[in-house]
Amino acid sequence: MSKKMLKFVDVHQETPVKRQTDSRKRDFNEIYDQYITDKAKEQSSRCSQCGVPFCQIHCPLQNNIPDWLKLTAEGRLKEAYEISQSTNNMPEVCGRICPQDRLCEGNCVIEQSGHGTVTIGSVEKYITDTAWEKGLGKTTEDFKRIK
Ligand code: SF4
């Protein structure tokens, strides 16, 4: 087990910053800011790497959530992205609008034990957006080859 994981007792749950209404009412941008890298690593490290990961079991796509949380905590963004998108054609969408409170996050084992869920959706969004910013996402040419 990576020493970077299982931090849920010491590290409290933290979502990305919610923008103030004064600025939100002036544009159509997102309500929540993006995680910065250190925060994504920190929040991912709260995962207890469950032997029976209820987050994954309750994901309609069976996303391999424990693995990409661990890879994010270790700073291995490319691998985290590859695993995330291997079961999901649109992680950038699911990270934003999937009902995580009733699926992965709602069934997270540390949520059930009263520690507050791992912020899975926000980490998923971070992984995808950051991978794309770094040019790690699939290009149109890649998709043509897949067809
Ligand atoms: S259920 Fe929660 S703590 Fe367990 S592997 Fe999934 S995200 Fe990690």
Identify which of 47, 56, 119 to mutate to test ligand 1's pocket (most ligand atoms within 8 A of the CB): 47
- Report the pLDDT averaged over residues 5-12: 96
List pLDDT tens digits, range 58-78.
999 999 999 999 999 999 999
Q: Whose CA is nearest to atom 4 of ligand 1?
A: 50
| Residue 143 clears pLDDT 60, i.e. is over it | no
Pick the CATH number of 21-136 from 3.40.50.300, 1.10.1740.10, 3.30.420.10, 1.10.1060.10: 1.10.1060.10
| Residue 29 clears pLDDT 90, i.e. is over it | yes
User: What separation in Å is there between the alpha carbon of 47 and the centre of ligand 1?
Assistant: 5
| Residue 139 clears pLDDT 80, i.e. is over it | no
The string of DSSP codes covering 45-85 is TT----SS-HHHHT-TT---HHHHHHHHHTT-HHHHHHHHH
pTM, 2 dp: 0.91
The three-state secondary structure class of 110 is helix
